[in-house]
Structure 1
Amino acid sequence: MALDMDQLRRIFYEECRENLEVLERELLALDPDADVDLDIINTIFRAAHSIKGGGATFNLNEISQFTHVMETLLDEAREGKRRLDAATIDLLLKGGDCINSMLVAYETDTDFDHALRDALTDQLNDLLNGGSASDSAAPAAQSEEALPEQSGGSGDWIVLFKPHKEMFFSGNDPVRILREMFDLGAECVIECVQDTLPTLDEIEPEMCYLSWKISVDSVVTRDQIEEIFEWVEDECDLEITQAEGEQTEEAVPESAPVESTPAASSAPTPAAAAKPKAPSKAPASKADAVSSIRVEIDKVDNLINLVGELVITQSMLTELSQNFSESKLERLQAGLDQLLQNTKELQESVLNIRMLPISFAFNRFPRLIRDLSSQLGKNVELIIEGEQTELDKTVLERITDPLVHLVRNAVDHGLESPEVRAEKGKSETGRVNLYAYHQGGSIVIEVRDDGAGLNKERVWKKAIEKGLLHAETAIDDLSDHQVYNLIFAPGFSTAEVVSDVSGRGVGMDVVKRNIEDLGGHIEVDSKPDEGSVFRISLPLTLAILDGQLVKLADQVFVVPLISIIESIQIESDRVKVATGGVELYRLRDENIPILRLKEEFCLGESGALDKQLLCLVEAGGNRIGLLLDEMLGQQQVVIKSLESNYTRVNGISGATILGDGSVSLILDVQGLMTGFLSRVGDANSHIAA
């Protein structure tokens, strides 16, 4: 079976990103002022080493060569020759960013910033050359001290390298090993041993039949050679000796026999006097950047068991269908009940596979906080809670950018400078909290800070200045909630100075829109000098929802059950008409605007309100009543995108197929509410929307 190199390459991309996450997380965990934590440094080194080795395996030479310089620096740190101070950690973090940019370039067949890569390489090399422990003469001195005295000869290292035939199956390539031997910077001669090469008709293209004899100058240490072969030590036979000296200890376990072939009995190619030409880079394409997900084996096992149960139930029903008689009705009913149960469990299991902990999104914020605090001159502590709360992978991917914007705003606008905080009697270190938890059928994410909070009067004045409020609107006429919601208006900003971080009036409206596109909503609470909290509520999944079927004329629609508060029959004496013709229903001291859905969707006239059904729904902290003809049953529905299959329709979030095969549209409650209130409401209604 031929190897699918594209698939192997995609696996490497995933593993490389995981190692980059480890590298960044552990670098951020290092305290430059504390005692050296070798466990953390070793973890960082292993991550860099894996990236370098994997990059070389797939001929991603820019990644491999750049990471090699970082790895050298980390190797000095783990050997105690160098201390990783704050500046070095910052440089290594930038190096990780550079590797990620190169990775993206390979995935999408685009280019990356070579100037940045070269500049970082120079900085790393300058750092290496500046330290006494990394002087170029040091390895040579170590080597000379470690070598026994020779009675004659050069004392060069002789390496017999015989890969196992199946080495290619693991994605490893002997050419990479040979290239790294040349990269040691010493004189290196390679001879290819071909005595095990079969005849042409016997060759299997996926197998490795060649071996190599490598001569390397004695300025190289044995440890340096062994490190190169460490990546494949269990996939080859290896012998390392010193010319005209005693054979040293083998670099492979005794259970792996060494088969050396004298040069005289081989048919060597001419000695390699120059570095061998590396295979050309495998072409990448945008198709390489395929979204994927790693699944725990327990979830897969559970899915397989459920499929097995489904197959058994299907076999039973097939048997019942043959020569069916009335006496088999009871067994048929039992079989159908079992099928229903299996289907529900299978559905839950499949959805569970898509669920990922929100830590995948939260993990990027320690680095973001570190960079922002340094850039803004603020002391910031990040506290993360509920990072194991799970939500759908699609929701997770699309909520990350809004969260980044909220955190940046919290640090830039929310938290005061250390001097101002000290004057207020606060700790000079500000706090930003990220908190996630489940609430009903939703996930709630809170972004909190203990900064200055929102200034109600300032927001009110800016809203009047920008025309978001009528000039005669008094601040006392508005609740705190209504005023704070103004920050989500397009172009709204109270920042006095535009910075690289924020303050251009761009973003908060996009944050709100992106969250609403996910079927969620965002609200803000704030107290002067105590801080602010942005609270985001999102559905757990975008694939399936619990819905209430409702009827309008001869059409069936689905209202998300999570949006429904209650349903009532209208009493005509509770209906009032406000200015502008807006109908309001008085319910428990609250006036609820009525939206006639028939007219909204051009399905006819609703007629008199007496005894009609009113479905009260809530979104974004606001309520309206949807006027319906009839309420049917409740059921789970599978959401199909209307936009990708047809076009975007205002007030409709998607479609589903009902049990009778008919198509039913799913209402976008937030979209309906926003459009309705902004269309017929006054200024206060517009704020509430």
Structure 2
Amino acid sequence: MDIRQFHAAFFEESRENLAAMERGLLALESAQGDGETIHVVFRAAHSIKGGAATFGFSSITDLTHLLETLLDEARGGKRTLGSEAIGALLAAVDVLHGLLAAAEHGDAIDEVALARARGGLERMLAGGAGVGAAAGTEAKAADAAPERWTVGFAPAPSLFLGGNDPLRILRELAEHGPVTARCRDERLPPFAELDPHAAYLAWDLELPGTVPRNAIAEAFAWVEDECELAIEAVAAQPAPAADGGAGAGNVAQFSQRASDTDGSIRVAVTKIDALINLAGELVITQAMLRQRSAGLDPVAHESLLAGLEQLERNTRDLQEAVMGVRMLPVEFAFSRFPRMVRDLSSRLGKKVRLRTAGEGTELDKGMIEKIVDPLVHLVRNAIDHGFESPAERRAAGKDETGTLSLSAAHQGGHIAIEISDDGRGLDRERILRKAAERNIPVPENPSDAQVWDLVFAPGFSTAEQLTELSGRGVGMDVVRKNIQALGGQVEIRSCKGTGTTVAIKLPLTLAILDGMSVAVGGEVFIVPLNTVVESLQPAPGDVHAIAGNGRVLRLREECMPLVDLAAFYGLPARPREGAGIAVVVESGERRLALEVDALLGQQQVVVKNLEANYRRVAGVSGATILGDGRVALIVDAGDLGAALRLPAAA
């Protein structure tokens, strides 16, 4: 059998284990971890080591063996993990990331980084246990060999699905000494109900007391979360009432580690995307059937129409369920920031604590992948420019350790993400001065919100000197552009001396959107509802012509460009009864009024990528298929606004 077919699963699981190790080590360093945390970190290292050994990745195996040894001493009470030790462990985790990438893509190993990581771990191991005499005495007492060990092992029914074999575990235990085993078959169902893929048998085991407890625990390390497991020491002279032996009584003492109903499978993203696409096609087909059946006699075709209504409900339920498969907790984006905050604050000589909230809030996987880079930029800027030094914070009467908060929450059909710091805040006068130096237009008597909005201007920065980590503002135009490309919005709230908050609002998914369908030049267009402010029929006196054949709409003392969509998309003008209808939309930092022939209604549409299937079209973000089979283009308000600015800039 070619085991290379399992490489992809190994690499993905190993990266998840490295992420778990990093989270655990950071929790231990900040004193937020508990006794279980070190076991989680150890099991993650042990899993990587076992998989690497199976596939012959010797560099990964050797490094994780050193990691495992150091962690085993810590979880056994023989060593305390101080900042230096955790730093060495985190450095090794970074190198393991590189080794995994090299093994996956066939690249050369960074031998220098590997040697540095090995050296750091070996120095830790050679430096002694690092625990006091009292702790050493306790460890020796805890290590006193019992007469025998009793083990209760009851696999979960799903154990085999993870590639685990109880017999392998029993053989591994037998390598340490004689094993007495009694099989329990009370869970075995009648033959007719037997599932060959399920584990039904359990075992009561006995091993001599000379076998180290760690050796027994390691044998079960890969299945701890998929079984009921109890490892108990029987003293050399046990009291009669206390010695329950290795019978069925031990089973009642097991701690349930995994529910029979829990479990997951790994599915390629391409398969999920194909399923989502098919669900979208089903929605379109259902809409066609509904439109074709609209003229049927409800009495003569009562059963048919009732079936179509049931089909519509089932189709919507199926679509929502399939979309839920792609939904992931935003924790997948937030999980990289504890390490980043630790490293950057240490490098800049600042003290920063990270607090997160709403990590379980779910967002489409594609959205999570695309929002990570803007979030990274905002977090880096907050640490570099937002927070004062410890001395400055003490002088200002603040806690010398600043607080950086990341939060996520659902708001209707959107998700709101906020990045807040309690640093120095934005300086209004300084921003206005820098805007004047760079000839950036500033409104007359600008409000604070308008001043903060200036940091999104291309190339804007309040930093007095260039550094690798630039000041707040550098690249913020790219942050806004990327967020708007996702159909989102971003704004800044700040108070000098108190702190700054960057608020981001995003749609939950890119695959489906709520839209307003409008008629333009004999065609149907979809305007995303999250960009629509209002719609109205303007009076003739509200529309004014300006130089260059342009027009503006005056609405409640505000003037905004009026865009004739038919002319913009090159469609023939159609006769209207009276004035056209204006749909006011938000386009970045300003508003536009889109002139359309009629409003047709609101509907949820399945977004199709126009660029992948045809080509890039100005002012269009995608397409959808209507119930009558026609293709409707989705209006890109941001692109329209950019197109209107180009002639003025030329």
- The bucket for the TM-score relative to the shorter chain is 0.7 to 0.9
From 422, 429, 432, the equivalent of 2:401 is 429
Distance 1:504 1:386 in 2: 25
From 156, 170, 175, the equivalent of 2:163 is 170
Matching residue of 1:445: 417
Establish whether residue 495 from structure 1 lines up as the match of residue 493 from structure 2.
no
Matching residue of 2:125: 128
From 550, 553, 565, the equivalent of 2:521 is 553
Matching residue of 1:466: 438
Quote how far apart the aligned CAs of 1:545 are: 0.8
Quote how far apart the aligned CAs of 1:496 are: 1.8
Establish whether residue 113 from structure 1 lines up as the match of residue 85 from structure 2.
no
* Long gaps (5+) in structure 1: 149-165, 185-219, 235-252, 256-287, 683-689
Deviation per residue, 1:453-512 (Å, 9 max, x gap): 22223223323333434xxx6x75434333322322332222123333234975322212
From 26, 36, 41, the equivalent of 1:28 is 26
Distance 1:463 1:638 in 2: 42
From 649, 674, 679, the equivalent of 2:617 is 649
Matching residue of 1:367: 339
Distance 2:213 2:437 in 1: 70
Quote how far apart the aligned CAs of 1:343 are: 0.5
Deviation per residue, 1:315-357 (Å, 9 max, x gap): xx9xxx9xx9998611111111111111111111111221111
Q: Is the 8 A contact 1:430 1:449 kept in 2?
A: yes
**Amino acid of the structure 1 residue aligned with 2:38:** I
Provide the aligned length of Structure 1 versus Structure 2.
Answer: 544
Shift of the 176–434 alpha-carbon distance from structure 1 to 2, 3 Å rule, reads same
Q: Is the 8 A contact 2:522 2:574 kept in 1?
A: no
Secondary structure at the residue paired with 1:529?
coil
Distance 1:17 1:658 in 2: 42
From 471, 487, 495, the equivalent of 1:519 is 487
Q: Is the 8 A contact 2:489 2:506 kept in 1?
A: yes
**Amino acid of the structure 2 residue aligned with 1:525:** R
Quote how far apart the aligned CAs of 1:581 are: 5.6
From 11, 20, 37, the equivalent of 2:9 is 11
Q: Is the 8 A contact 1:582 1:681 kept in 2?
A: no
Write out aligned runs for 1:248-263 (5 A). Answer: none
Distance 1:233 1:607 in 2: 73
Q: Is the 8 A contact 1:385 1:434 kept in 2?
A: yes
Distance 1:331 1:653 in 2: 40
Distance 2:427 2:85 in 1: 40
Distance 1:406 1:86 in 2: 27
Deviation per residue, 1:216-239 (Å, 9 max, x gap): xxxx986686677556899xxxxx
**Amino acid of the structure 2 residue aligned with 1:405:** H
Q: Is the 8 A contact 2:66 2:121 kept in 1?
A: yes
Secondary structure at the residue paired with 2:301?
helix
Matching residue of 1:628: 596
Matching residue of 1:540: 508
Write out aligned runs for 1:68-107 (5 A). Answer: 68-107=65-104
Q: Is the 8 A contact 1:414 1:452 kept in 2?
A: yes
Matching residue of 2:426: 454
Range that drifts further, 81-90 or 581-590: 581-590
Q: Is the 8 A contact 2:385 2:472 kept in 1?
A: no
Q: Is the 8 A contact 2:46 2:221 kept in 1?
A: no
Distance 2:313 2:554 in 1: 43
Distance 2:130 2:438 in 1: 62
Matching residue of 1:398: 370
Q: Is the 8 A contact 1:523 1:620 kept in 2?
A: no
Matching residue of 1:384: 356
Write out aligned runs for 1:602-641 (5 A). Answer: 602-604=570-572, 611-620=579-588, 622-641=590-609
Quote how far apart the aligned CAs of 1:651 are: 1.4
Distance 2:545 2:223 in 1: 83
From 353, 364, 369, the equivalent of 2:325 is 353
Matching residue of 1:54: 51
Distance 1:613 1:433 in 2: 44
Q: Is the 8 A contact 2:576 2:597 kept in 1?
A: no
Shift of the 327–630 alpha-carbon distance from structure 1 to 2, 3 Å rule, reads closer
**Amino acid of the structure 1 residue aligned with 2:112:** A
Distance 1:484 1:371 in 2: 28
Deviation per residue, 1:355-383 (Å, 9 max, x gap): 11111111221111111211111111222
Distance 2:413 2:120 in 1: 51
Distance 1:167 1:545 in 2: 41
**Amino acid of the structure 2 residue aligned with 1:529:** G
Quote how far apart the aligned CAs of 1:59 are: 2.3
**Amino acid of the structure 2 residue aligned with 1:644:** A
**Amino acid of the structure 1 residue aligned with 2:14:** C
Distance 1:580 1:431 in 2: 52
Matching residue of 2:381: 409
Secondary structure at the residue paired with 1:399?
helix
**Amino acid of the structure 2 residue aligned with 1:562:** N
Matching residue of 2:638: 670
- Greater CA radius of gyration, 1 or 2? 1
**Amino acid of the structure 2 residue aligned with 1:20:** L
Write out aligned runs for 1:305-320 (5 A). Answer: none
Deviation per residue, 1:652-685 (Å, 9 max, x gap): 1111111222211111112212332464599xxx
Write out aligned runs for 1:209-358 (5 A). Answer: 291=269, 329-358=301-330
| TM norm structure 2 | 0.74
Distance 1:254 1:360 in 2: 44
**Amino acid of the structure 2 residue aligned with 1:83:** T
Shift of the 580–233 alpha-carbon distance from structure 1 to 2, 3 Å rule, reads closer
Quote how far apart the aligned CAs of 1:564 are: 1.4
Deviation per residue, 1:92-141 (Å, 9 max, x gap): 1122222122222333333342211121011111211121589xxx9xxx
Distance 1:222 1:567 in 2: 76
Matching residue of 1:239: none
